[in-house]
Amino acid sequence: MIGTICAGLTGLTRPAEAAPEIHTGLLSSTAAGGYDVVAYFTEARPVVGSASFQHAWKGANWRFASSAARDAFAADPERYAPAYGGHCAWAASQGYRASGSPHAWRIVEGRLFFNYDARVHRLWEGNIAGFVESADRNWPGIVRQ
């Protein structure tokens, strides 16, 4: 079902300035659903970012809960940005791109991963290492699609 939903969305356009590997809203260029990606590492929970604390990276606007979080991200965005640009890690392991939810997340070996929803997240947790290996292998081809 997820593949069917995502296949139907592939023809929709993204904001012109957003890099294809970064998941943003269909009509905006805000990454990670507007959540502070640094907070996953510092507070171990999703925290809504603020338009007052933004940083542009890879053509997307990243929001943060504080200037300290924004500055940490600006200094090392690769450290904090979710894997696969915030797209679903499980979908990437299966060879396609799907939305990632900032509420279905996990940090593994210093990398932040999002999944489509709680059900897919539970599936992904059944073989994280295998799914990450497959997703890492698939991702370069997925981004070029």
Amino acid at 78: E
pLDDT band at 18 (very low <50, low <70, confident <90, very high): low
- Give me the residue spans of the domains in the chain: 21-76, 82-145
Q: pLDDT digits over 80-110, tens only?
A: 999 999 999 999 999 999 999 999 999 999 9
Other beta carbons less than 10 A from residue 97's beta carbon: 22
Indicate the pTM of the whole model. Answer: 0.86
